[in-house]
Amino acid sequence: MVDTLTPVLTDLWDAELGWKLATYEERGGYAALDVAFAMSPDDVITAVKDSGLRGRGGAGFPTGMKWSFIPQDNPKPKYLVVNADESEPGTCKDIPLMMGNPHVLVEGVILSSYAIRANKAFIYIRGEVVHVIRRVQAAVAEAYAAGHLGSNIHGSGYDLDVVVHAGAGAYICGEETALLEGLEGRRGQPRLRPPFPAVAGLYASPTVINNVESIASVPAIVKNGAAWFGSMGTEKSKGHGIFSLSGHVQKPGQYEAPLGITLRELLDLAGGVREGHQLKFWTPGGSSTPLFTAEHLDVPLDFEGVAGAGSMLGTRALQIFDETVCVVRAVLRWSEFYKHESCGKCTPCREGTWWLVQALARLESGQGSEEDLDQLLDQCDNILGRAFCALGDGATSPVTSSIQHFREEYLAHLEQGGCPFDPARSTAWSGQEVSA
Amino acid sequence: MTVSTGSTGGGVEKTDLVTVTIDGVQVSVPKDTLVIRAAEQIGVQIPRFCDHPLLAPVGACRQCLVDVPDAGNGRGFPKPQASCTLPVAEGMVVSTQVTSPVADKAQQGVMELLLINHPLDCPVCDKGGECPLQNQAMSNGRGDSRFSDERNRGVKRTFPKPINLSPTVLLDRERCIVCQRCTRFADEIAGDPFIALVERGAQQQIGIAEDAPFLSYFSGNVIQICPVGALTSEQYRFRSRPFDLVSTPGIAEHDACGSAIRVDHRRGTVLRRQAGNDPAVNEEWISDKDRFAFAYTHGDDRITYPQVRDDDGSLRPASWPEAFTVAARGLAAAKAAGGVGVLTGGRLSAEDAYAYSKLARVALDTNDIDFRARPHSAEEAAFLAASVVLTGPGNGGVTYDDLESAAKVVLVGLEPEDEAAAVFLRLRKSVRAGGTEVVSLAPFTTRGLAKLSARVVPTAPGDEPAALRALAAELDATSVLLVGERMAVVPGALGAAAEVAAASGARLAWVPRRAGDRGALEAGCLPTLLPGGRPVADPQARVDVATAWGVAHLPEAEGRSADAIVEALAAGTLGGLVIAGVDPDDTTDPAATRAAIDAAGFVVALDLRRTEVTDRADVVFPVAPTTDKAGTFVNWEGRVRTWEAALHNPASLPDLRALSGIAEEMARLGEGSPLGFRTVEEARAEMAQLGSWDGVRVEASPTSVESSRTDRGSDDSTGERDDSTVRLATWKQLLDNGSMQDGDKYLKATARTPVALVTPGDFDRYGPTVTLTGDRGSMTLPAEICDDLVEGVVWVPAGSVGNGVLADLASPGAAVTITGAEGVHG
């Protein structure tokens, strides 16, 4: 198994003014454009297909295959939309990537648009991160000025315009069809599928929607070849990915490594769990993925490995919780998030998240009986797979997985008539209290 | 005459059938059928809320989840699927709640969730008793809630109680399950997307923009399709319980669309009206006028007993027999003194119209009968006889379905949103489906035309014939021409329409405004036509009718039109008048009509309510409103729609009963014959027996009148247009001062504000308030800029201000002067 980091997207993050065009170009940036323009768009799609790149937004759909679904005989314009609405609790890879190296995204947008024959691309950035929006806007402006965007790019005859769009702050707009609704100026709620975006997406035209990291991975694939990319990772989950470690670790941050690395290895790189504490539970891919515990330390973090262990790789957002954390409290907080962010379109998610919060709040405060746990699980069963989009499913993951792994802890709340944990102990300043 | 080409509507399309297995039962349904409707075919009702067959699928409520073990490709769906969004596929296997525990649990789970935040106020909720949520909670829900028991007491989301979305529609947000039926209706069907989802999660609700209420002519439909009690009617709120109501099917009397309605009444009082379901006509929608305007029948001015003029000149109550006798004697005398004219108005049922038609011929011995209580012309009468009467869905007449399949629909002198609401909705449906292009010869792009994405051919009033001929080249057999009744007074317009239709192969239909117009035409309430479209001028036709009626002969000369009757009364050449439901202000020249009624030697008025006409009459008979009698409306298509009496009011009799009494009494005096029927059933039987004319139809006379406006403005002779002279474009809006909208203040509050639409130039010249002056008076109105209004034209609503345009201003199309209103600075 691999045991070293593979900085590709993150390579430039520590460079002086790494986000500037000059820095990026010094290191060979935008060179992939000429490589691609020498190829046919179909060959670019083939290269990405051959690389084995899978969507980095969570679902892991093969990127090249998604591109090949765009019907090229459709007379309507084609669009590329970059999903930069990173909002999943724990997920923090796209935002630092766009801060640290916006040009790799822009270059990826050009290459991807060229491949699917789009002349207009949109980068939909979460509205709250104004600093990131500004940085990407600046990068796009620089790219225009340098002739990497606009008409007849690099003399290839290919034209592309890029629009940086700021979202209005809704978790649901990370769902690709809700994102399209938002981009069209409508209320952000998921659309009925079919038709799928590849056939009728933005403005009812063929549209590819990809995550930031997926698109940003394309320049290196074009430049270094599919085989180079495929040499990293595991058989079905190839390449590099950013693993975001947060919570009770010594050195939280983004670790770019081949897919298939384990949490044990990542924790080694990150200096381990908080000093003097042990790992209690963790999320492999953000709060919507079922929780793991210490017994999953050696699960290979690729799509198959995590799925095989009963969770999802998701966005590789590894939130680490040590033994000071009350799992019931953590799950309640997440559920409050889902209740707040449910778009309201479908009944199970809208009403179900409302119920989950009330039920968990009672349990956390020690009210109820063991039957309530079963009822909670039954309620999750009535939400999971019944909601319109995956948000409802995601809302049940922390609840069901936490009861699966920590049923005793829930019961302890009931037995003691309240939470047995001291929340202060899990804070970053625990042990530093000074008496008045 | 009109021959079905088979190009539209007639062709039988071969439908691809798909066979699926639902709960073990095989069923074949057309391709693209949704599973939820395929299940209905085998008698399985899958519970649903957001699903509505006339709205696009949305899949929001998730109540209709079913298990699909085989999607038709050998693989099943891992999760339950919403059957309202899932089209059938060959070989698909579906297990509904009937056979699948998974589907059943999913449905019960969704139902439980729906009820979490739903208030338990069913006992005071308008919907209680007819509520899909209540009903389906019983059929497909858990017996008890796990959210409200002792152990697990939840906190429901609450909102302040109802808020007004409009003067007619209220929203109780607590009850709302945000299925989006109402917002989808407003957006997809009505084209008035003034209600929308706001907020999110459990706080998601239906809302309106600040200061932008849900003012739509069709807003009431959302109350009816709301599957819970969230949307309620200001008019009906807290008035009744559904299980106390008796529902009687009816036909809307406010326009010529023939829309099906349901009259809900309790102990002799109509409490509300709902849309009926007539797929061939109005589908499941009606206008707010059809829904809310029914209070006019029970106002204080309702006439409940006959009246005769006393010796002292006042009207006094009379018994029916006395009134019959007085009317018969008076009419007999008037007959001797020159004759009697009959003005029937446009609101009659076909049976009543037939009674007037027969009364005129057999008792009054005249063809002086006209249903057109509005500006009309001889050209129109000829057009109606040649191109309209006897056409219908069975014999090649244009239908609603034809509007949907037509490639192009040309509107001439017709603003469907105002004048034929169901036509508007059907056109919009067709336009949205991408099938039909609407072209309108209109002075500007109205809101309704904008919603039809119509191509407007800018046409000043009077210029329609030329515009129509210019359009002829782009018409063919896939086109439909819809001509409104307003074209009667544009010389050459109806002739041009017939000529263009004949030359291009386009199909032609006439769309009147009033519910009784077409039926009166068929019944022969026209000086040139006998019942069944028989030309008066045709001896064979007269013999035909005389034989059926058992009379020796019928009057041979064609009669006087309504205008000519008015003229003759004023001149004293006609001795008397039978008048029914005519408002002088609707007629060609209101002042002349009033003068004629005053001049008439003897007037018999039949009306529902006291009016200025009944005040001037010598004998007044009360007549029944549509709720109190059976009847028939023939809609613009020529489609026959009958209804039965909703209320049983022995004192409220149809016109034909009063007329038969008069005729019998006259026969006793030796004047003519009795009608031979006293009830609606008897009249229907006789009408059926008489049947339609199968002889030679009147030929459309070649357009003899060259389109010209020389007689339409007094100042045209110089050829120079005075700057301040503009041509008057006008028509009645759906909601205005019409007397049949009396009594419902909520409905009235949703009417559009009357304004004069002026060109930007005229607005700059005359300012925000203008005074229009015509040959009948002046009208001062706020002016509003209309960007694409034809130069030299002003538009005002015909019936929204004062006594209406005809009485207070001038004839449609006439020249009026425009000035800035005094004392108002622009």
Q: Give me the residues of B, 235-274, that contact A with CB < 8 A.
A: none
Task: From chain A, pick out residues whose CB is under 8 angstroms from the CB of B206.
Answer: none
CB spacing of B62 vs A387 below 8 angstroms: yes
* Pairwise CB contact (< 8 Å): B202 & A358: no
* CATH dotted code for B321-374+518-690: 3.40.50.740
**When comparing pLDDT for A60 and B711, which is higher?**
A60
Q: Nearest CA to CA, how far is A293 from chain B (Å)?
A: 27
The reply to whether residue A386 touches residue B110, judged by beta carbons under 8 angstroms, is yes
Which of B78, B152, B200 has the CB atom closest to A344's CB atom?
Answer: B200
Q: What is the 3-state secondary structure (H, E, C) of chain A?
A: CCCCCCCCCCCCCCCCCCCCHHHHHHCCCCHHHHHHHCCCHHHHHHHHHHHCCECCCCCCCEHHHHHHCCCCCCCCCCEEEEEECCCCCCCCCHHHHHHHCHHHHHHHHHHHHHHHCCCEEEEEECCCCHHHHHHHHHHHHHHHHCCCCECCHHHCCCCEEEEEEECCCCHHHHCHHHHHHHHCCCCCCCCCCCCCHHHHCHHHCCEEEEEHHHHHCHHHHHHHCHHHHHCCECCCCECEEEEEEEECECCCEEEEEECCCCHHHHHHHCCCECCCCCEEEEECCCCCCCCEEHHHCCCCCCHHHHHHCCCCCCCCEEEEEECCCCHHHHHHHHHHHHHHHCCCCCHHHHHHHHHHHHHHHHHHCCCCCHHHHHHHHHHHHHHCCCCCCHHHHHHHHHHHHHHHHHHHHHHHHHHHCCCCCCHHHHCCCCCCCCCC
In terms of C-beta density within 10 A (0-12 exposed, 13-18 middle, 19 or more buried), how is residue B714 classed? exposed
Q: Under an 8 Å CB criterion, which residues of A touch B?
A: 170, 172, 187, 189, 192, 339-348, 350-355, 358-359, 362, 368-369, 371-372, 375, 379, 381-383, 385-388
Q: Which fold has domain A21-230?
A: Rossmann fold (3.40.50)
- Whether residue B59 and residue A346 make contact (CB cut-off 8 A), yes or no, is yes
Q: Judge whether B110 is closer than 8 Å to chain A, CB to CB.
A: yes
Task: State whether A187 and B196 contact (CB < 8 Å).
Answer: yes
Residues in chain A within 8 Å Cβ distance of B193: none
For residue B570, give the nearest of B550, B587, B547 by alpha carbon.
B587
The token pair that represents A350 in the structure block: 């809208």
Compute, in degrees rounded to 10, the torsion defined by CA atoms B607, B612, B618, B623.
10
Chain B residues within an 8 Å CB radius of A362:
152
Interface contact flag, A386 B59, Cβ < 8 Å: no
Residue B47 to residue B661: CA distance in whole angstroms: 55
Cβ-based contacts of A346 with chain B (< 8 Å): 59-62
Residue A193 distance to chain B (closest CA, Å): 9
Across the interface, do B154 and A385 touch by the CB < 8 Å criterion?
Answer: no
B117 touches chain A (CB under 8 A): yes
Q: What CATH number is given for B164-298 in this structure?
A: 3.30.70.20
Task: Sort out which chain A residues have CB atoms less than 8 A from B85's CB and list them.
Answer: 192
* A and B: number of Cβ contacts within 8 A: 106
In this structure, how many other beta carbons lie within 10 angstroms of the beta carbon of residue B407? 16
Q: Which CATH class is domain B19-116?
A: alpha beta
Q: How far apart are CA A242 and CA A257, in angstroms?
A: 6
Q: Is the pLDDT of residue A2 over 80?
A: no
- What pLDDT is recorded for position B709? 40
Q: How far is B73 from chain A (nearest CA, A)?
A: 17
Please indicate whether, in this complex, the C-beta atoms of B63 and A347 are within 8 angstroms of each other: yes
> What percentage of residues in chain A have a pLDDT greater than 70?
98
In chain A, where the domains are located: 21-230, 240-322, 327-423
- The torsion angle over the Cα atoms of residues B407, B183, B145 and A411, rounded to 10 degrees, is 110
Q: How far does A320 lie from chain B, in Å, by closest CA?
A: 29
Chain A hits for B151, CB-CB cut-off 8 Å, are 368-369, 371-372
Residues of A in Cβ contact (< 8 Å) with B58:
192
The parts of chain B modelled with pLDDT lower than 50 are 1-12, 703-720, 825-826
ipTM of the complex: 0.94
Q: Do A382 and B106 touch (CB under 8 A)?
A: yes
Residues of B in contact with A389 (CB under 8 A): none
- Evaluated on CA atoms B84, B86, B90, B94, the torsion sign reads negative
pLDDT (0 to 100) of residue B588: 96
- Model pTM score: 0.94
User: Could you check whether A21-230 and A327-423 share the same CATH topology?
Assistant: no
On the question of a common fold for B164-298 and B378-512, the answer reads: no
- pLDDT value, residue B3: 38
Contacts with B178 from chain A: Cβ below 8 Å = 344-345, 350
Residue B767 backbone class (left: φ over 0; alpha: ψ -120 to 50; beta: rest): left
Per-residue burial over A411-434, b if 16 or more Cβ lie within 10 Å, else e, is ebbbeeeebebeeeebeeeeeeee
- The CATH number of A240-322 is 3.10.20.600
CATH topology of domain B378-512: Dimethylsulfoxide Reductase; domain 2 (3.40.228)
DSSP B29: E
Interface test with B, best of A345, A374, A376 (most B CBs within 10 A): A345
Distance CA A343, CA A320 (A): 28
User: CA-nearest residue of chain A to B110?
Assistant: A348
B177 CB near a chain A CB, below 8 Å?
yes
Q: State the pLDDT at residue A29.
A: 95
| Residue among A196, A336, A339, A351 with most chain B CBs within 10 A, to mutate | A351
* Range A327-423 classified under CATH 3.30.499.10: no
Domain boundaries, given as residue ranges, for chain B = 19-116, 164-298, 321-374+518-690, 378-512, 716-820
Q: Is B58 touching A (CB cutoff 8 A)?
A: yes
> Which chain B residues are closer than 8 Å to A342 by Cβ?
200-202
Among A126, A102, A128, residue whose Cα is nearest residue A183:
A126
**Which residues of B, range 139-168, sit inside 8 Å of A by Cβ?**
146-147, 151-152, 154-155, 157
Rounded to whole angstroms, the Cα distance separating A294 from B522 reads: 88
What 3-state class would DSSP assign to B442? strand
Residues of A in contact with B61 (CB under 8 A): 346-347
| Chain A CB contacts of B32 below 8 Å | none
CB B682 within 8 A of CB B472: no
A344·B105 Cβ contact <8 A: no
- Distance of residue A173 Cα from the nearest chain B Cα, in angstroms: 12
State the average pLDDT for chain A.
95
CB-CB neighbors (< 8 A) of B176 in chain A: none
pLDDT tens-digit map of A259-305 = 999 999 999 999 999 999 999 999 999 999 999 999 999 999 999 99
Rounded to 5°, the CA angle B634-B506-B254 comes to 25
CB contacts of A382 in chain B (<8 Å) are: 105-106, 109-110, 112-113
Nearest Cα residue to B581 out of B292, B356, B361, B373 = B373
Q: Which CATH class is domain B716-820?
A: mainly beta
Quick one: closest CA in B to A372, which residue? Answer: B152
Mean pLDDT along residues A391-397: 96
- Quote the crossing angle between the two packed helices A41-51 and A102-116, to the nearest 10°: 120
